[in-house]
């Protein structure tokens, strides 16, 4: 597995984990109403968005490099 392929797998997993954690934190905020959970949800979803933007940039930069 090339470094490019590993990077794509790792970024995809990281984005999915951040989205699931953000959804969980949102659910906890709805149940408890604590501002810490709201901040956690917002931070996690913002991190997922930033990682998505980075992943797109990475793929565009290395589009000429093989996945093997």
Handedness of CA 57, 63, 64, 68 (dihedral sign): positive
Q: Which two tokens stand for residue 45?
A: 């979803």
CA end-to-end distance (rounded Å), the chain: 6
Q: What is the pLDDT along the chain (68 residues), one digit of tens a residue?
A: 788 889 999 999 999 999 999 999 999 999 998 999 999 999 999 999 999 999 999 999 988 888 77
Q: Which two tokens stand for residue 50?
A: 């930033």
């Amino acid at each position: 597995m090339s470094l490019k392929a590993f990077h794509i797998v790792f970024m995809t997993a990281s984005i999915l984990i951040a989205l699931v954690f953000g959804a969980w934190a949102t659910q906890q905020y709805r149940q408890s109403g604590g501002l810490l959970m709201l901040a956690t949800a917002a931070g996690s979803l913002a991190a997922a968005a930033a990682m998505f933007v980075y992943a797109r940039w990475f793929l565009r930069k290395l589009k000429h490099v093989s996945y093997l």
